[in-house]
Amino acid sequence: MNRHHAFANGHAANKKRDDDGYRPYSDRADLENKYIWGMHDLVEDEKPEAAFGRRFEPRKKALHSRSRLIRLGLMALGTIALIIYFIFPSALQGSLLSSADTSLEQSDIETLRYYDLTDAQGSSVGWHREERVLLCTPLRDAAPHLPMFFAHLRNFTYPHRLIDLAFLVSDSKDNTEELLSQMLEAQQADPDPSQHYGEISVIHKDFGQAVSQDFESRHGFAAQASRRKLMARARNWLLSAALRPYHSWVYWRDADVETCPYTVIEDLMRHDKDITVPNIWRPLPDWLGGEQPYDLNSWQESETAMALAETLDEDAVIVEGYAEYATWRPHLAYLRDPYGDPDVEMELDGVGGVSILAKARVFRAGVHFPAFSFERHAETEGFGKMARRMGFSVIGLPHYTVWHLYEPSVDDIRHMEEMEAEKREREKQEKENAAVAKKIQDEFRPVNSQWEEDKQAIAGEAEEANSQSDAKEETRKNEGMKKTDIRQGDGTEELSAKDDGDTAAEGEKVKDKKKSNKAGAKKPKVAAEPREDEDDE
């Protein structure tokens, strides 16, 4: 009996022989094989496995249900935690979130910045090359000018996102600070994304100026040197805090510019010079001539001024536009021709600060606004001088004009008050004259025409009288009596009464009118007519 299980179905009868080539151990008995390979249970093969019978019964009921319970519990816990987490995020924030957040923050912070300054040289077509411009504006008690300044800001055609704004608010006693931040927030929240500016820094620093900002003290000669030095400090603080390695251009702009081309940044940039300034004028009231050069700080050096500088003390500051220092310098402002080519350039040595476009590399090289007497000049004039000293090009555009706000000086204000008083006086006079004339007209009847008519009437009557009876004459007398009665009444009656003269010749009519006068019903109507006639005359 073949007890080998492989032969039971007969299929494997020839197996050994068939697989000879492939199975090196096939000559061994299966039992042997199974022994070798550790399949020791061959004999028990056909026995039903104990587990088979209980196949569908849960093997370890207690444990199974426990694990399910645990699973269910965990899921429930997780869901509850999530629900709590979403509904009351604050409940978990203290423990869970903050730790996670700080770790997130640490990995999220970049501390290294790398800049190649050759990328920020500044070119004539900065807006094509995405060159960033820093717009610097020093402010002091400038709240009244801010709305005007922001109107200019909105209108700049240079891409706003490429412009970074920097303001220095110093020693302001009005609400400059609040108004400024309010207007800046509004600007950045503008629905039009092209209105948004780049980085905006507002720097608060008080320098403790004793000099006040009104026109007279600002422009008085004595205060100039110390005032200019303080202004220079303010400008330097602003620039040093706001200039970044990625800036290609710096545009200095005062808040009190009234009229300025929207394209001013591009227009100045196009010249591709290191420092470019436009001509600054200001409009004037008509009685002062309509317009006037404003910024006299843009000039070319002259021999006289050089000689003058030699004679001065080390700390003295030459200020332009004052009779005390006659420098005979050619000023940019005086060279303006309203119809001239706006692209004409002029080399300068000193510049004014109302509107300066400079390449950032000028400031990077160290040129600043000297807060000391640099070659006898300070602030923007010293800035121009220092830039020239370092070999930078400084130009002005004599026929490209930016209009500064006109702030009347004390003299002007006095003059204007005088003019105002004069005007008021004149107006009063005129009014009085008119009143008198009217009074005259109202109170005294113009009788010239009346006299003419009366004359004619008298002439006519005289003729009539010759041919008429005495009886009629008597009625006329009565009439005259009544007329005077009426005249003692109001003006309208008077007028209507005087009308009678016209028709005096026609007795019938006159009587009718008399009646109506007495009745008073038609009075106003009648009164109006002759008056119009009179006016026409």
Partner 1 sequence: MAYFDMRQKRSGNRTTFLGVLLGVVFIYFIYSIRTAPAGTSDPSLRSQSALVAENPLSPPTSGFRKQQKVEGSDAVLPPPPVVHYQLNNLTASAFPALNNEKILILTPLARFYPEYWSNLVALNYPHQHISLGFITPKTKEGNAATAALQEAIRKTQSGPQGQRFQSVTILRQDFDPPITSQDEKERHKMENQKERRASMARARNSLLFTTIGPHTSWVLWLDSDIIETPPTLIQDLASHDKAIIVPNCYQRYIDDKGQEGVRPYDYNSWRDSDIAQEMASQMGPDEILLEGYAEMPTYRTLMAMSAKVGADRDERRLMPLDGVGGTALLVKAEVHRDGAMFPPFPFYHLIETEGFAKMAKRLHFDAFGLPDYFVYHYNE
In the range 124-183, which residues lie near partner 1 by CB under 8 A? 161, 164, 181
**Which one of 97, 225, 284, 457 is in contact with partner 1 (CB under 8 A)?**
97
* Residue found by looking up tokens 């010759």 in the block: 466
Which tokens hold the place of 344?
């004409």
Spatial neighbors of 192 by CB under 8 A, at least 6 apart, are: none
Given the complex with partner 1, which of 28 and 205 has the nearer CB atom?
Answer: 205
**Which one of 350, 370, 384, 396 is in contact with partner 1 (CB under 8 A)?**
370
**Which one of 206, 417, 422, 485 is in contact with partner 1 (CB under 8 A)?**
206
User: Quick check: helix, strand or coil at residue 482?
Assistant: helix
Least CB distance to partner 1 at residue 394 (A) = 15
Which tokens hold the place of 35?
């022994």
Least CB distance to partner 1 at residue 226 (A) = 13
Spatial neighbors of 278 by CB under 8 A, at least 6 apart, are: 264, 267, 268, 355, 396, 397, 400, 401, 402
Residues 326-355 that bind partner 1 (CB under 8 A): none
Residue 199 within binding range of partner 1, rule CB under 8 A: yes
**Euclidean distance between the first and final Cα of the chain, in Å?**
163
**Which one of 7, 28, 67, 287 is in contact with partner 1 (CB under 8 A)?**
67
Residue 365 within binding range of partner 1, rule CB under 8 A: yes
CA separation for the pair 446, 133 (Å, rounded): 78
Given the complex with partner 1, which of 208 and 338 has the nearer CB atom?
Answer: 208
* Count of residues that interact with partner 1, criterion CB under 8 A: 79
Do residues 418 and 298 make contact, with C-beta atoms less than 8 angstroms apart?
Answer: no
Residue 116 within binding range of partner 1, rule CB under 8 A: yes
Given the complex with partner 1, which of 31 and 243 has the nearer CB atom?
Answer: 243
Residue 203 within binding range of partner 1, rule CB under 8 A: yes
Residue 198 within binding range of partner 1, rule CB under 8 A: yes
Residue 43 within binding range of partner 1, rule CB under 8 A: no
Span interacting with partner 1, options 23-31, 89-97, 260-268, 292-300, rule CB under 8 A = 89-97
Given the complex with partner 1, which of 241 and 440 has the nearer CB atom?
Answer: 241
* Residue found by looking up tokens 């930078």 in the block: 392
The three state secondary structure string of 137-181 is EEECCCHHHHHHHHHHHHHCCCCHHHEEEEEEECCCCCCHHHHHH
Do residues 273 and 330 make contact, with C-beta atoms less than 8 angstroms apart?
Answer: no
Least CB distance to partner 1 at residue 164 (A) = 7
Residue 384 within binding range of partner 1, rule CB under 8 A: no
Given the complex with partner 1, which of 10 and 48 has the nearer CB atom?
Answer: 48
CA separation for the pair 320, 326 (Å, rounded): 8
Span interacting with partner 1, options 362-370, 419-427, 452-460, 494-502, rule CB under 8 A = 362-370
CA separation for the pair 387, 274 (Å, rounded): 9
Residue 42 within binding range of partner 1, rule CB under 8 A: no
How many beta carbons lie within 10 A of that of residue 532, not counting itself?
A: 9
Residues 421-460 that bind partner 1 (CB under 8 A): none
Residue 283: Cβ-neighbour burial (10 angstroms; 0-12, 13-18, 19+): middle
Given the complex with partner 1, which of 167 and 400 has the nearer CB atom?
Answer: 167
Name the phi and psi angles at 167, rounded to 5.
Answer: -120, 145
Span interacting with partner 1, options 114-122, 214-222, 443-451, 471-479, rule CB under 8 A = 114-122
Least CB distance to partner 1 at residue 418 (A) = 44
Residue 369 within binding range of partner 1, rule CB under 8 A: yes
User: Quick check: helix, strand or coil at residue 221?
Assistant: coil
Which tokens hold the place of 102?
């700080």
Residue 191 within binding range of partner 1, rule CB under 8 A: no
What are the distances in angstroms from CA 432 to CA 348, 425, 446? 59, 10, 20
Beta bridge partners of 164: 134
**Which one of 135, 184, 318, 351 is in contact with partner 1 (CB under 8 A)?**
184
Least CB distance to partner 1 at residue 235 (A) = 9
Least CB distance to partner 1 at residue 198 (A) = 6
Least CB distance to partner 1 at residue 157 (A) = 18
DSSP E strands in 144-302: the ranges are 163-169, 200-204, 247-253, 257-259, 275-283, 291-293
Residue 313 within binding range of partner 1, rule CB under 8 A: no
Angle at 223 between CA 145 and CA 325, to 5 degrees: 110
Residue 99 within binding range of partner 1, rule CB under 8 A: no
Least CB distance to partner 1 at residue 393 (A) = 16
The long-range contacts involving 64-69, CB below 8 angstroms and separated by at least 24 positions, are none
Helical H segments across 302-378, by residue range? 303-311, 360-364
Least CB distance to partner 1 at residue 236 (A) = 4
Helical H segments across 368-447, by residue range? 379-389, 410-443
Given the complex with partner 1, which of 333 and 371 has the nearer CB atom?
Answer: 371
Given the complex with partner 1, which of 170 and 276 has the nearer CB atom?
Answer: 170
Amino acid sitting at position 426: R
Binding mask 234-273 for partner 1 (x = CB under 8 A): --xx-xxx-xxxxx--------------------------
User: Quick check: helix, strand or coil at residue 15?
Assistant: helix
Residue 377 within binding range of partner 1, rule CB under 8 A: no
Residue 121 within binding range of partner 1, rule CB under 8 A: yes
